[in-house]
């Protein structure tokens, strides 16, 4: 399995609080992605990174920010959580060299916002 660790695995918090999710990789891969998984929607891209300090928005980026200060860590922040952000969040990584390499996923963070 690809070396991807997401933390925390589960979190319950209240509306309006800030939340940060962490993705840590040991593969030294250039590309990292954050997706959210919701029933009936599959997985949707929130943000992605193509290198240290290089990030960009995905399909559903409103209400989320990201940071990547080191190759191995990609952080997803909800500045002020809302109930609509209750979801399962997945981090994925992909090596460079060829854009046809598959992505490999972490085990996810289940986030509940009350």
Partner 1 sequence: AQSVAQPEDQVNVAEGNPLTVKCTYSVSGNPYLFWYVQYPNRGLQFLLKYITGDNLVKGSYGFEAEFNKSQTSFHLKKPSALVSDSALYFCAVRDGNSGYALNFGKGTSLLVTP
Residues in contact with partner 1 by CB under 8 A are: 4, 31, 33, 40-45, 48-50, 56, 58-59, 90, 92, 94, 99-100, 102-108
Is the CB of 49 or the CB of 87 nearer to partner 1?
49
Is the CB of 63 or the CB of 95 nearer to partner 1?
95
Distance from C-alpha of 93 to C-alpha of 101, rounded to nearest angstrom: 10
Q: Which of 50, 31, 35, 41 is nearest to 101 (CA)?
A: 31
Closest distance between partner 1 and the C-beta of residue 25, in Å? Answer: 13
Closest distance between partner 1 and the C-beta of residue 47, in Å? Answer: 9
Closest distance between partner 1 and the C-beta of residue 99, in Å? Answer: 4
Q: Which is it for strands 73-78 and 10-13: parallel, antiparallel or unpaired?
A: unpaired
Closest distance between partner 1 and the C-beta of residue 108, in Å? Answer: 6
Is the CB of 12 or the CB of 17 nearer to partner 1?
12
Task: Decide: 89 and 7 in contact? Cβ < 8 Å.
Answer: no
Q: What are the DSSP E strand ranges found in 16-94?
A: 19-25, 31-38, 42-51, 54-57, 64-70, 73-78, 87-94
Is the CB of 17 or the CB of 74 nearer to partner 1?
74
């Amino acid at each position: 399995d690809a070396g991807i660790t997401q933390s925390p695995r589960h979190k319950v918090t209240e509306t309006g609080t800030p939340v940060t999710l962490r993705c840590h990789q040991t593969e030294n891969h250039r590309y990292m992605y954050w997706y959210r998984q919701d029933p009936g929607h599959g997985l949707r891209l929130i943000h992605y990174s193509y290198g240290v300090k290089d990030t960009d928005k995905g399909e559903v980026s409103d209400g989320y920010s990201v940071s990547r200060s080191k190759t191995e860590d990609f952080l997803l922040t909800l500045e002020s959580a809302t109930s609509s952000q209750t979801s399962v969040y997945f981090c994925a990584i992909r090596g460079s060299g060829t854009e046809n390499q598959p992505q490999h996923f972490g085990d996810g963070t289940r986030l509940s916002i009350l």
